[in-house]
Amino acid sequence: MNKVLTPPYQIDDQIKQILNQKFLTDKQVASRYGVTRTSVWRWLKTLEDFPAPVKLSEGCARWTLLSLINWENERAERQKGGRNG
């Protein structure tokens, strides 16, 4: 039976190093959140806390999986704080 994980995730330092080396395209980010690629780029402009991609070369930007997980964790913590505070 598969366990569904929801943020905030508990990640140790060794896993963080691995996740920081995993790069996602805008298409993969969009798929992760169930939105369009256009939405991902819009979030970058409109959401102050949305992680910026790493520019690997001209015309090639990728997000690290770690930056996205950190963003998810921060949002989950804020939402949890808002419900309890």
Is position 9 within any domain? Answer: no
**Cα–Cα distance measured from residue 43 to residue 37, given in angstroms and rounded to the nearest whole number:** 10
Peptide bond preceding 8 in cis form (omega within 30 of 0)? yes
Is position 3 within any domain? Answer: no
**Cα–Cα distance measured from residue 16 to residue 84, given in angstroms and rounded to the nearest whole number:** 29
pLDDT tens-digit profile of 50-67? 999 999 999 999 999 999
Position 83 pLDDT exceeds 70: no
**What CATH number has the domain bearing residue 26?**
1.10.1660
pLDDT on residue 30: 98
13-18: Cβ within 8 A, 24+ apart? 16/66
Record the pTM: 0.76
Find the domain containing 62 and state its range: 21-79
Is position 35 within any domain? Answer: yes
pLDDT tens-digit profile of 8-48? 777 777 777 877 789 999 999 999 999 999 999 999 999 99
Is position 34 within any domain? Answer: yes
**Structural domains counted in the chain:** 1
